[in-house]
């Protein structure tokens, strides 16, 4: 039998082997140390201590998003106007004339003074323990005084320097801790402890994630515990859901009559498919006063509408060229805006209305932001009463006083509905003839509402014309007089018999042209075929509904046709 040869290791090999053994031993020791330290961190050591006041809003730590520090003075907690704008009211506004801050949220508008301890909420005065202050050229507001306005619960935990703010409209769950445990910053095995909770203490349950539950402790700390260490989870506050007044698409019709006429008598009539009527009940006069034109006939009109299941959203108009300066004066004065809003509220309650349709036109471009302020301040007051605010606007491109005077993004964000008056592409004041509402123009404008102005589709109501215009030109193509409006029910009566109608694929409507004496007559026809094309945009873009200007201009069976098209 042969003996195996022993391989002798060199000194160099022996040294390498020793070093390898040492390295392995050190690695094992290091792992043991990490496990021990991790265990200690996991169960005993609290590393998360606040050096400044932390702000927790609806179980989210937003401290890093604060633009200014939270002030605590004389037991009052102040948050800067800028931060309130970021977290609650992006339209918060300083009324320098009255030295007050105006803030709105959901169903409340509040004016809190910078001079004295008072706040006005939805028109009612209330004494406060503190007022807004100015410090280092910044405005700070006592957040406790806005609990009712923002619909929030506030708690300041002094020992941990945590301020928690919870919306009372949101669901909240609570549970009981079944065993003393550490609250971890994450679900990882080695993660810092943010708080400790004792058996029997209550915690707010935020979410459950694969064996772990994210919680908020009584100290206001956010973190994770194992789900098996909590029990008896109960809903202590239900989610509040807003009910819409109109289910499905709005089908509104304007019912216009002049300020010197009585409301129309609609007794024994029904309008198939519509769910909202908008009569011209209200207007602003040349002195800036809110006026109503309702009377006995108007009351009968409201009763007729409600008996037929129609909501009543009357118009508030500022029509007339002389209203440019009057409207500007109202929009630029908080007290005058507030008076107008109060007048609208009083009238809405008095006549048991369901909403309002603001139809302000012919305004200054420089008043655009202040008109938005009017809508911002009106909407919560109306919403508090369960009333709808709809606002009429024109197409995005046009003249200063007709188009550029609207901030459609803000109006669409704040109001319940923004009504795009998709007509008068070429209107009565146009210096050249053209269509009342070409399909391509309507669709392009709608895309701007949605894509550029970033208005939610379901908030947009598309208003269609139940009329067109008959234009008169000389041989050189110049207009010889203003065009005449023609109701769609009268078009065939106005046009000569056997006239040739040419379909325009781009405008998606018929066009006619004929001679009358030495003049040339032109008309871009609105009928069920052209209106069907425009109405199709409501479903294609999932809009909030349709509005028609105006009742009395329609053809026979038009309302049934409209109902079928938007369903």
Beta bridge mates, 281: none
Average pLDDT over residues 337-353: 98
Rounded Cα distance between 442 and 444, Å, is 6
Q: What are the residue ranges of CATH 2.30.30.40 in the chain?
A: 171-237
Average pLDDT over residues 547-563: 98
> Which two three-digit tokens encode residue 195?
């708080």
More confident call, 233 vs 25: 233
62 three-state secondary structure:
coil
Rounded Cα distance between 201 and 232, Å, is 12
Beta sheet of 230-237, edge-to-edge order: 193-197, 181-184, 222-226, 212-216, 202-209, 172-177, 230-237
The third-level CATH classification (topology) of the domain covering 171-237 is SH3 type barrels. (2.30.30)
The answer to whether residue 6 scores a pLDDT higher than 70 is no
The answer to whether residue 4 scores a pLDDT higher than 50 is no
Integer angstrom CA distances of residue 21 from 12, 29, 507, 515:
15, 12, 86, 108
pLDDT at 41: 46
Tally of CB atoms within 10 A around 483: 21
List, as one string, the DSSP characters of 176-245.
EE-S-EEEESSSSSS--EEEEE-TT-EEEEEEEETTEEEEE-TTS-EEEEEGGGEEEEEEEEPPP-PPPS
Q: What are the residue ranges of CATH 3.30.457.10 in the chain?
A: 54-155
Rounded Cα distance between 137 and 68, Å, is 12
> Which two three-digit tokens encode residue 512?
């006619």
Virtual CA dihedral for 554, 556, 558, 561, nearest 10 degrees?
-170
Rounded Cα distance between 312 and 526, Å, is 27
Contact 302, 350 (CB under 8 A): no
The answer to whether residue 533 scores a pLDDT higher than 90 is yes
Rounded Cα distance between 164 and 60, Å, is 9
Which helix (H) or strand (E) segment holds residue 438: the answer is none
The answer to whether residue 509 scores a pLDDT higher than 60 is yes
Binned at pLDDT 50, 70 and 90, residue 225 comes out as: very high
CATH architecture of 250-466+527-566: Alpha-Beta Barrel (3.20)
Binned at pLDDT 50, 70 and 90, residue 39 comes out as: very low
Q: Which residues contact residue 520 at a Cβ distance below 8 angstroms, ignoring those fewer than 6 apart?
A: 472, 473, 474, 475, 477, 513, 514
Helices (H), 11-137: 11-43, 81-87
Mind listing the pLDDT tens digit for each residue in 163-217?
A: 999 999 999 999 999 999 999 999 987 889 999 999 999 999 999 988 999 999 9
Q: What are the residue ranges of CATH 3.20.20.80 in the chain?
A: 250-466+527-566
Mind listing the pLDDT tens digit for each residue in 75-107?
A: 999 999 999 999 999 999 999 999 999 999 999
Give the predicted TM-score (pTM) of the model.
0.91
The answer to whether residue 11 scores a pLDDT higher than 80 is no
Binned at pLDDT 50, 70 and 90, residue 42 comes out as: very low
Query: For residue 87, which of 70, 112, 74 has the smallest C-alpha distance?
Result: 70
pLDDT at 210: 87
The answer to whether residue 3 scores a pLDDT higher than 50 is no
pLDDT at 30: 63
Percentage with pLDDT > 90 across the chain:
88
Mind listing the pLDDT tens digit for each residue in 273-297?
A: 999 999 999 999 999 999 999 999 9
pLDDT at 188: 87
Query: For residue 355, which of 257, 282, 286 has the smallest C-alpha distance?
Result: 282
pLDDT at 8: 59
Asked if CATH classification 3.30.457.10 holds for the domain at 54-155, the reply, yes or no, is yes
pLDDT at 88: 98
* pLDDT, mean over the chain: 93
Binned at pLDDT 50, 70 and 90, residue 158 comes out as: very high
Percentage with pLDDT > 70 across the chain:
93
């Amino acid at each position: 039998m042969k003996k195996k040869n022993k391989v002798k290791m060199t000194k160099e090999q022996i040294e390498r082997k020793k070093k390898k053994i040492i390295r392995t031993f050190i690695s094992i020791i290091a792992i043991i140390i990490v496990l021990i330290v991790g265990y200690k961190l996991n169960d005993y050591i609290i590393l998360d201590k606040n050096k400044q006041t932390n702000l927790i809003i609806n179980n989210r730590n937003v401290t890093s998003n604060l633009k200014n520090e939270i002030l605590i003075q004389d037991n009052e907690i102040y948050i800067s106007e800028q931060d309130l704008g970021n977290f609650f009211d992006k339209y918060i506004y300083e009324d320098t004339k009255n030295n007050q801050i105006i803030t709105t949220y959901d169903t409340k508008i509040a004016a809190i003074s910078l001079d004295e301890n008072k706040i006005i909420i939805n028109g009612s005065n209330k004494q406060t323990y503190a007022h807004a202050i100015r410090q280092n050229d910044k405005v700070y507001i006592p957040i406790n005084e806005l609990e009712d306005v923002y619909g929030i619960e506030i708690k300041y935990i002094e020992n941990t320097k945590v301020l928690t703010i919870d919306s009372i409209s949101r669901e909240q769950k609570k549970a009981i801790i079944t065993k003393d445990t550490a609250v971890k910053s994450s679900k990882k095995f080695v993660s810092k402890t943010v708080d400790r909770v004792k058996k029997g203490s209550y915690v707010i349950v935020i979410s459950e994630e694969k064996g772990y539950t994210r919680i908020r402790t009584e100290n206001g700390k956010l973190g994770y515990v194992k789900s098996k260490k909590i029990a008896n989870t109960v809903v202590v506050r239900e989610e509040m859901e807003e009910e819409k007044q109109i289910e499905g698409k709005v089908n509104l019709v304007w019912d216009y009559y002049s300020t010197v006429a009585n409301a129309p008598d609609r007794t024994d009539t029904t309008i198939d498919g519509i769910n909202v009527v908008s009569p011209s009940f209200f207007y602003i006069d040349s002195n800036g006063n809110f006026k109503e034109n309702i009377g006995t006939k108007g009351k009968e009109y409201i009763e007729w509408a409600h008996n037929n299941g129609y909501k009543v959203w009357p118009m508030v108009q500022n029509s007339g060229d002389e209203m440019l300066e009057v409207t500007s004066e109202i929009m630029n004065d908080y007290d005058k805006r507030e008076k107008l809003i109060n007048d609208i509220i009083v009238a809405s309650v008095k006549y048991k209305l369901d909403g309002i349709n603001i139809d302000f036109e012919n305004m200054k471009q420089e008043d655009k932001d202040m008109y938005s302020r009017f809508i911002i301040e009106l909407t919560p007051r109306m919403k508090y009463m369960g009333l709808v605010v709809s606002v009429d606007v024109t197409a995005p491109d046009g003249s200063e006083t007709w188009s550029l005077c609207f901030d459609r993004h803000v109006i669409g964000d704040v109001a319940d509905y923004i009504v795009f008056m998709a007509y008068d592409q070429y209107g009565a004041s146009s210096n050249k003839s053209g269509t009342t509402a070409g399909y391509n123009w309507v669709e392009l404008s709608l895309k701007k509402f949605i894509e550029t102005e970033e208005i939610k589709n379901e908030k947009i109501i598309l208003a269609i014309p139940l009329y067109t215009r008959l234009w008169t030109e000389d041989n050189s193509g110049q207009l010889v007089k203003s065009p005449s409006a023609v109701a769609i029910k009268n078009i065939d009566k106005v046009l000569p018999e056997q006239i040739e109608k040419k379909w325009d694929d781009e405008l998606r409507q018929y066009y006619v042209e004929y001679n009358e004496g030495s003049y040339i007559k032109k008309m871009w026809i609105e009928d069920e075929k052209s209106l069907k094309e425009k109405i199709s945009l409501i479903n294609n873009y999932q809009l909030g509904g349709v509005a028609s200007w105006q009742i009395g201009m329609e053809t026979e069976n038009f309302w049934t046709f409209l109902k079928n098209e938007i369903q």
